[in-house]
Amino acid sequence: MSESQKQPPFLGIFFVATAGQNGSLLGSDEEEIVLLVLSILNTSSNQVVCTSPFVVQPRTADINENLLSEECKIDFKLSDDQVRTAIPLETAIEQLDEIVRQNAGDEEFTLVVDGQLPLRQCLHPEACAKEISLPAYYNSFFDLKKEFAKRYEVRLEEINEMLEHLGLNPSDEPSDSILSRVNQMTLIASKMLTDGYQFETKEIINMKLEPGICSKFEEVDSNCVVRARGLPWQSSDQDIAKFFRGLNIAKGGVALCLSLQGRRNGEALVRFESQEHRDMALKRHKHHIATRYIEVYKATGEDFINVAGGKLFLFPLKIARGLN
């Protein structure tokens, strides 16, 4: 789902890194966030208003003292001081919100993110698991890769490729490599504004599972359905939607499977809004609800209909059809 509107006066170029995988696997290993960087761009003056990095302390750090992996310290050239002064995610979210309010005031402010994963696969699921509430501006965003593809008619997966395509120089100063990703993204967004582009089509993150009824005769796209197994037996459809927080589930898109005795068996079929969301759901295979891990597999539209489709009237309808 996306929504077209006028370009907001402020864009928040936003970068997220976890202690684990990056790139196309970002978030798939359920590792915690260790770095958030926000740069605010005034779209009428096309100028950067401020850039703020937050080094985030993972909760697991309390247990094993190993704050951030060596690898990630090297990747972002974090100093020991930056690591020592790392703050919990909830504090970083609060401080970031202060900065947004100081700089954008009550004006509209929309995040610009490199692809779907930082918000959908990292921040939302982690905040949901830790019961951290996020300000409303995290519920929609511009996907820089999609916006870039719309403007320049070429889909590029890497920031460096985008810079190169625009003839920009990724000035990689070693002193602030913690900011380099966000600076590069800002350079791209700013060039797009200069080229007359308007950021208008927001991606929406559904925060609520909408009720809906699925008819036995509906066509359900098999590319949009997964089977989740190993759910706590008392899970409601809302609990299952929470496990997939960040992804958009179709209306009435959670169907709990029942055993022959009519009891829940810890399985559910989940129908997403699009294949893009289904594919991200599959990347949550073996992610956790509390201490239990959940298996996520591909399933078919027929599987979904078999569990979710209303069975009432099926028989009389068949007869009626046979008479035609």
Ligand X SMILES: *[C@@H]1O[C@H](CO)[C@@H](O)[C@H](O)[C@H]1NC(C)=O
Binding site for ligand X (CB under 6 A): 42, 44-45, 49, 103
The whole-angstrom separation of Cα 15 and Cα 40 is 12
Q: Which residue is nearest to ligand X (CB)?
A: 45
As measured in angstroms, the least distance from the Cβ of 40 to ligand X is 8
As measured in angstroms, the least distance from the Cβ of 132 to ligand X is 28
As measured in angstroms, the least distance from the Cβ of 51 to ligand X is 14
Paired with 42 in beta bridges are: 10, 47
Residue placing its CB nearer to ligand X in the complex, 8 or 246: 8
Residue placing its CB nearer to ligand X in the complex, 101 or 155: 101
As measured in angstroms, the least distance from the Cβ of 107 to ligand X is 8
Angle between helical axes of 177-194 and 144-152 (0-180°, round to 10): 30
Residue placing its CB nearer to ligand X in the complex, 44 or 261: 44
As measured in angstroms, the least distance from the Cβ of 46 to ligand X is 8
What order do you get walking across the sheet with 201-204 strand by strand? 2-4, 201-204, 140-143, 109-113, 10-18, 33-42, 47-55
> Is 195 in contact with 46 (CB distance < 8 Å)?
no
Q: Is 262 left (phi over 0), alpha (psi -120 to 50) or beta?
A: left
Residue placing its CB nearer to ligand X in the complex, 48 or 296: 48
Paired with 14 in beta bridges are: 38, 113
Cβ neighbour number for residue 96 with a 10 Å cutoff? 19
Residue placing its CB nearer to ligand X in the complex, 44 or 291: 44
Parallel, antiparallel, or unpaired: how do β-strands 140-143 and 109-113 relate?
Answer: parallel
**Alpha-carbon distances of 14 from 11, 30, 119, 255, rounded to whole Å:** 9, 20, 9, 35
Residue placing its CB nearer to ligand X in the complex, 109 or 272: 109
Residue placing its CB nearer to ligand X in the complex, 24 or 45: 45
As measured in angstroms, the least distance from the Cβ of 45 to ligand X is 3
The whole-angstrom separation of Cα 252 and Cα 212 is 4
> Is 206 in contact with 270 (CB distance < 8 Å)?
no
As measured in angstroms, the least distance from the Cβ of 95 to ligand X is 19
As a residue count, the chain comes to 324
